[in-house]
Amino acid sequence: MKVENAVFPGPEQIAGFFGAPEDGPFVMVNLLKFKPRAEYEDGSDAHLTGAEAYGRYGEAVRVLVENLGGNIRYSGRVTGLLLGEVEDLWDAVALAEYPSLAAFQAMAMSPEMHAIEHHRKAGLAGQLNIRTKPGVGF
């Protein structure tokens, strides 16, 4: 299994993701890997860790998600691995619920999202975003 963290999706990934049929609410699983130090393009806030820079983004995006009718279901640090093997463990996991693909796309393309992206870019070394649908039972 190949695992490749990325900060931004490529054009094919964007087209495939947003070209999927609308099928209601979903939860995005975010596996996050932070830079050791924040790397803002203008050189500011070099005293911050990557996690602290991403935290600025996370708090602002929480408001955006809630304003479109979604919510952050969970956010926490990764503290260990019981099963499986990865070369480099992620630093944090976040679960964000969205009411629809259209709502997620509108948020992702919004001026408000664009205004906070620099915090994400400054703090994030890479991530996986996994779209999930609620199932019946466990």
Determine the Cα–Cα distance for residues 95 and 84; give it in Å rounded to an integer. Answer: 21
The per-residue pLDDT for 108 is: 94
The per-residue pLDDT for 87 is: 87
Asked if residue 52 is part of any domain, the answer here is: yes
Sequence letter at residue 129: N
The per-residue pLDDT for 73 is: 95
The per-residue pLDDT for 138 is: 59
Determine the Cα–Cα distance for residues 14 and 50; give it in Å rounded to an integer. Answer: 25
Q: What is the total count of domains within the chain? A: 1
All residue ranges of the chain with pLDDT < 70 are 138
Q: What is the pTM of this model?
A: 0.90
Write the CATH number for 77.
3.30.70.100
Asked if residue 68 is part of any domain, the answer here is: yes
List the domain range (segments joined by +) for residue 109: 22-132
Asked if residue 55 is part of any domain, the answer here is: yes
Determine the Cα–Cα distance for residues 86 and 111; give it in Å rounded to an integer. Answer: 36
